[in-house]
Amino acid sequence: MSRAESLAVRAPSPLWTFGLLRSELVTTFRRWRTLALLGVLAAVPVLVGVAVRIETRGGAPSGRGGEGGPAFIAQITNNGLFLVFTALAATLPFFLPMAVGVIAGDAIAGEANSGTLRYLLVAPAGRTRLLLTKYVTTIAFCLVATLVVAVSALAVGALLFPLGDLTTISGTQITFADGLGRALLIALVVAASLTGLAALGLFVSTVTNSGIAAMATTVGLLITVQILDQIPQLHAIQPYLFSHYWLSFADLMREPVYWDDLVKNLELQALYAAVFGSAAWARFSAKDITA
């Protein structure tokens, strides 16, 4: 019996929703596609760390981080913890959101394409709970994917570079324990920064029955928004693009912390989640399920 069929025949109970969520989490994180995405994300810090190590081997750091890279990339050789911040900054513009777009885009459309969606809807949870479960699963992937990048970067940084007290972007010294705390907080902020895209991808997933089309559309929208955010003539609309404040997490490495852009980012993600989450619910509630 398939996962959808086994869920569909369960009797209604207060624990049914938890069972559905657990089933979705297990199914999502056991897929080879998900494991491949996480593997690619884990490899990015390795590549960055090895590249910095090779470049600075046998000489002083070049200090070229200000030429377009993260503001703290030049400090990786002084403290491996900075590889965490650099890796998150390197993956956030494309790799992390692309992975989230794949998971979110396939959430509903993938079930429809495989013919399991109508079996899931026979179960007592109904469409609203199923949609909410899919979104929570996507948010869980956002968090896991971000932590995979951070943990991989921390391991590589500890292996290739020294660890210890670190210097913030503002030039002040903080302890290594404080730096670890800020690294965890930055990872949580980066994961939260992807919630708006997750809601957008979920909405796209309710519009089509093709998982590939939904994933491609979500990633295409991501690329389009990233391009729009780089055009100076569009500065009036850029603060409303979901990716505009993504790199504001770097302000957590200032002393004192700059909160303005961080708060704007979280508010913008909440707005996108509310708008496209509602749109996904309205579309999915009225959708004629034939597969």
CA separation for the pair 184, 146 (Å, rounded): 10
Burial category of 78 from C-beta neighbours within 10 Å (exposed 0-12, middle 13-18, buried 19 and up):
middle
Residue 256 lies in a domain: yes
Residue 288 predicted with pLDDT over 80: no
Q: Rounded to 5 degrees, what angle do the CA atoms 60, 66, 71 make?
A: 95
Residue 291 lies in a domain: no
Q: How many Cβ atoms are within 10 Å of 100's Cβ, its own excluded?
A: 27
pLDDT tens-digit readout, 59-88: 545 444 443 345 567 788 888 999 999 999
CA separation for the pair 198, 219 (Å, rounded): 11
pLDDT tens-digit readout, 11-39: 445 455 677 888 889 999 999 999 999 99
Q: What's the pLDDT at 12?
A: 46
Residue 57 lies in a domain: yes
Residue 26 lies in a domain: yes
- What average pLDDT does this structure show over 237-260? 92
Task: For the full predicted model, state whether its pTM sits above 0.95.
Answer: no
Q: What's the pLDDT at 117?
A: 75
Residue 76 lies in a domain: yes
Q: What's the pLDDT at 270?
A: 97
- DSSP assigned state of 253: G
89, two tokens:
């900054």
- What average pLDDT does this structure show over 236-264? 93
Residue 140 lies in a domain: yes
For residues 54 and 269, the model is more confident at 269
Backbone CA torsion sign across 88, 91, 92, 98: negative
Q: What's the pLDDT at 290?
A: 60
Q: Which residues constitute the domain of residue 152?
A: 3-286
Q: SS3 for 265?
A: helix
How many domains does the chain divide into?
1
